[in-house]
Structure 1
Amino acid sequence: MTDQPAPASPAPDLFTWEFAADPYPAYAWLREHAPVHRTRLPSGVEAWLVTRYADARQALADQRLSKNPAHHDEPAHAKGKTGIPGERKAELMTHLLNIDPPDHTRLRRLVSKAFTPRRVAEFAPRVQELADGLIDRFAQRGTADLIHEFAFPLPIHAVCDLLGVPREDQDDFRDWAGMMIRHGGGPRGGVARSVKKMRGYLADLIHRKRAALPDEPGPGEDLISGLIRASDHGEHLTENEAAAMAFILLFAGFETTVNLIGNGTYALLTHPGQRERLQASLAAGERGLLETGVEELLRYDGPVELATWRFATEPLTLAGRDIAPGDPVLVVLAAADRDPERFAEPDLLDLGRRDNQHLGYGHGIHYCLGAPLARLEGQTALATLLGRLPDLRLDADPADLRWRGGLIMRGLRTLPVQFTPEG
């Protein structure tokens, strides 16, 4: 192992509430002085943090870093503290974030059909309908909390529609998802209870769709029905795999987009020059700046702070640090995406940034499957907000806003705004 020179300044505190509000100075210190850094997480688990862009890309694609928690050399105090709370007891472990090839290849192939450009484009009118309908509820009031009234419900209802959850059941999903967000950085029990309820519902929904009577409509074009058809036609998809797949698409597909919309709107409200630039572009009927702008918002303050867990399957060296088999490795996307060795003026928000191969959706075989849908939702949400509420402004001191303290995701608890009421 290569010795690293002693830094001139002490290591910053990680995972405090102050850190959650603005982690970027701490990540800059780590990139410079300890780019692969071993730390004890709030859960008690010891893990390696990877913070430089080049190292992050290497780690995200390194086949020696497994997604399967079975490779974690867990000490007693860390038992069950990696991954999503409750997923083990609910038998939801066999999803894309926890498996490697060949099972990962097989399951990803089955689901990828739902996220082709054509399917996502067909979904665009529904996303626009959701965005307008949610704004209709508060547009005449002049104030809103954009997290709870807009950024949160939009992707929940969108992903439920995609999965095939009946409209009359979607409020239950909203409640369970809300519990996950509220307790993501706190007690794991609330999240685990929601996961258990969601698992029971998904098992029942799979049975109902599969057992549809012959004289009633059979499985439709929704994703759960597609998984059932694949299973019934020799793809060897177990019921646990189908439930786990539906669960992780919901879990990964809603909170990331909540944070994309919330963080993105907050960044625009605190960078008025960039916000006005985007509004002028949209008013002229141009979408190019919206497309590059969403990518820049993903880079600048993205919804996923750390990539999900990886575990070394054999000894390896990364940036001069020796990583032992069984060690957890967490790639810090938020740090890599502000690496000055990769991005010019990385702390500057530039909606027109062209050279922007950010890692907000990951890299390699685990690149986010739902990225096309998330982009659609983010673009639609921001364009609709800025178009319908053109004088949207923050209704709080930025210093008073609170960020959720979870390990993987980065998002605001609330985003209070004011605007001129419609009508």
Structure 2
Amino acid sequence: MTAQPAPVFDQRLLRDPHRRYNALRDQAPVHRVRTPDGAPAWLVTRYDDVRAAFTDPRLSVDKRFSGTDGEHGSSLPPELDAHLLNRDPPDHTRLRRLAAAAFTPRRVADLRPAVEKTVSTLLDGLAGNDHAELIGSLASPLPLQVMHELLGLPTQTSVDFRTWTNTLLSADANQPAQSRSAMANMRRFLIEQVAHKRAQPGDDLLTGLLCVREDDDGLTDDELVAMLFLLMFAGYDNTAALIGNAIHALLTNVELAEAVRTGSLAVDELVDGVLRWNPSFPLAVRRFAREPITIAGQTIPAGDRIWLCLASANRDPAHFTEPDEIGIADMRRPHLSFGHGIHYCLGAPLARLQTTVAVASLFDRFPGIRLAVPVQDIQWRESFRLRGLVALPVSL
């Protein structure tokens, strides 16, 4: 008999997700839960099971395998839904190949001067002040400006895009109308940018995606709009949260901050430590069982939805020596925050680059920086899908 879904995604989890996920992982490796949208699902909590599930061909990211006929498979309209994270091979293989042909390591590496310049300009805006709020002045504007630079989009749309993503990530279940409006506005904006770039191509990723061809194959208009949505949505909010989480980690850990200042800990190692300890993306994209499947002794029926809990897997004591601490010993151990296998995050190098530059530049420019409020007064965003700060007030 299938267990009744438990209401896991509640205020307790919002207030202290790591404590809640730790308790669930200690109780059992797999839980039958009710998700925020009201659907039943299975939550996988342990490192080995999550890592194996990422590459299990019996699990699909395509909502057509949902046992609810897609009712709870995705809240996105079809035009924004046809992206990499919702497609299995061979469709995923094709889309990933075409995207990778334009989103190359060289293109990301070439962005470093632009990232450094943007960070320097943002920090210039803080100079001369005794206090600052770093989410609004650094963590949020940086990835938005970088993403607009990468794609060749007008920078004046940054505020609009930030508003749309905040609406989509809200934990408020009573705003479907606002979410639909935000998605419609995002889609309209992206369609307009594709049309503009076709008429006036440039040296940017969007032009590259428009032009990339392989064996006379290219991205359709719907695929291109969905790809842009994924790049901007994931590339903005997850990176903004990661930057804030990394700065927060240093401001609340004296030994860690000292290790970075003295050079005994490289900033890129710190970033991986934060990705494990406090990932901005706590849950991987939902999956569906193509057939009955057993995970850690629990049989899951075909069509059921499965969530892989990255926040829990990354603190599994079976794999990390100090799972609840951001200790240097665990920073070189592989985490799962960017996924694993064919769905490993395409934008991971760009997220790492921005966070590394932002953190290193901030602490170099303001070596005496510290929190301006007690640590318990720091407010986290109320979202099941994103782990990030509402604000980060500091004394410079």
TM-score w.r.t. length of structure 2: 0.92
2:249 maps to 1:261:
no
Distance 2:214 2:224 in 1: 12
Partner residue in 2 for 1:399 = 376
- Of 371, 374, 390, the residue aligned with 2:351 is 374
Matched, 1:44 2:26: no
Q: Is 1:337 the counterpart of 2:314 in the alignment?
A: yes
Letter in 1 for 2:132: A
- Shift of the 174–26 alpha-carbon distance from structure 1 to 2, 3 Å rule, reads closer
Does the CA contact (< 8 Å) of 2:103 and 2:205 recur in 1? no
1:24-423 alignment, distance < 5 Å: 24-74=18-68, 80-83=71-74, 85=75, 87-88=76-77, 91-181=79-169, 183=170, 186=173, 187-212=175-200, 219-230=201-212, 234-281=216-263, 289-351=266-328, 353=330, 355-419=332-396
| Matched residue type, 2:309 | V
Q: Provide the residue aligned with 1:14 in structure 2.
A: 8
Q: How many Å separate the matches in 1 of 2:80 and 2:168? A: 15
* Alignment CA distance shift 1:143-1:233 (3 Å): farther
Aligned to 1:216: none
Distance across 2 between alignment mates of 1:53 and 1:265: 26
Residues 350-390 of structure 1: CA deviation (Å, up to 9, x unaligned): 24645410001010100000000011011011101111111
Matches of 1:385 and 1:24 in 2, distance apart? 27
CA 1:240 to 1:184, structure 2 compared with 1: closer, same or farther past 3 Å?
A: farther
Residue 80 (structure 1) shift: 4.5
* Aligned-residue CA RMSD (Å): 2.4
Aligned partner of 1:67: which letter? V
Q: Tell me how far apart the structure 2 counterparts of residues 55 and 162 of structure 1 sit (CA, whole Å).
A: 36
Structure 2 residue matching 1:92: 3-state secondary structure: helix
Instruction: Give 1:306's aligned amino acid.
Output: L
Secondary structure at 2:323 match in 1: coil
Change (3 A) 1:269 1:141: same
Aligned-residue offset at 1:178: 4.3
Give distance in 1, aligned partners of 2:224 and 2:298.
Answer: 39
Question: Which residue of the partner structure matches residue 215 of structure 1?
Answer: none
8 Å CA contact 1:297, 1:351 repeated in 2:
no
Secondary structure class of the residue paired with 1:303: coil
Q: Contact 1:289/1:351 (CA < 8 Å) preserved in 2?
A: no
Cα deviation code 1:194-225 (max 9, x no counterpart): 2211111111221222234xxxxxx2231211
Deviates more, 1:107-116 or 1:49-58: 107-116
Deviations 1:56-75 (A, max 9, x none): 00111111111111111128
Q: Percent identity?
A: 42
